[in-house]
Structure 1
Amino acid sequence: MVHSEGGVVGKELTAKGRATRGRIVEGAALVLREKGIEQTTLDEVMARTRTSKSQLFHYFPGGKEDLLLAVARFEAEQVLEDQQPHLGCLDSWEAWQQWRDVMIRRYEEQGDRCPLGSLSLHLGRSTPGARAIVVELLHRWQEYLAVGIRALQAAGHLPREVDVEERAAALLAAIQGGVTILQSTGQAYHLRVALDHAIGDLHRLADQRPVAITAR
């Protein structure tokens, strides 16, 4: 068997084994959301997931730290999954508005609790793979936004000269800034304003497109 960032992944891991590991990770994620990292014990995770100690250490030989790393990866995936299918279909202004509404609703429901942020803070940059999880999440998130902006260009809604990567990076920064303030205050106002201005800036670029002059 080989070791991964979030525990053991057997070379010949069966479908049942993958399901068991996934069940442990999802169960642990629920416990962590309810009780927090410091108050969560492996005994609680085993009880919640109906897992024996030998099973848990088979998949996560490093114990709690290995399990937390796996949960961090799960929570990172959830960040993107919770935005679907809208994040993957940003090909019209209506689609962008729907995605914006989903984003606001998701983070309003989450409030000042951020499972991934708490896990990243607990694991720290020194834990192998911990920082990579967040970096990968942000990279994928920005790429989704970039694909959406290119879709607007392809549909004729944005000028071709728009710097796609720059705009996608600005959008992601607006989201992260708004979410950070939300986690500090419990209020989604700044996130709402940041998203509205970022998307509004794209709209204004659309309005600045040169008007084609047809010959008479």
Structure 2
Amino acid sequence: MTALPEGLEQSFTVAAGELGMACAAWLFVENVAREAGDAGVGALRDALGRPFPVLDAVAAQWLAGARALNTDPSRLLAAVEGSAGLVVVGLEAFFLDVLVARLPPDTRCALLCHSPFDVDWERVLSNYGGRVEPVNLESFQAWAGPRSVLLTFAYGVGGHSANVLPAWVRATGEDVRTQFRALMAWDVLPAPMFVYPRWLVEVDAASFTHLFQA
């Protein structure tokens, strides 16, 4: 059996907080594969797959031959064209990086600072040079309006359901749904999850006005 470094679970928890679960999973899988090949990826999945189902799914993708993460935001950008404000619920750094870089300069962007992990939000936001503003569950509705969009990251869309972070459910009550022009999801894990989706909740895929897959 391939030996893995000690403290990997704690390291992944930190990375998931700073990067997002899907981005952290790809980072870990790629680095383990570089050092220990597919056997190492299998060992990583055995060690951390149950507590981190997104990592489990990404490792399974890798072992099935996937080698790249698709972060192209083109379809999403077309859908938000003309928006005055975009509020992002959830953090997936590689996806957010390319999205923010290509947003029109007159579209304001905010990130809901809420996560199941410990996050240094000031450090996360500093990566965007003031382009992304912080909001919380009490203040984000100030961004609502007929030209505003609410966006979340989804983790595996199967049939009529999608997995999202609990913050999305807290943020999208009936009163909020009527206040934003669109409620969008960007599926950053277009693959099935084989273990119980801890950290996530299931919602009706039809509840989104737009759903994009990576």
Q: Same fold (TM over 0.5)?
A: no
**Rg (Cα) greater in structure:** 1
Structure with bigger RCO (C-alpha 8 Å, 6+ apart)? 2
> TM-score under structure 2 normalisation?
0.30
Greater helix fraction, Structure 1 or Structure 2: 1
> TM-score under structure 1 normalisation?
0.30
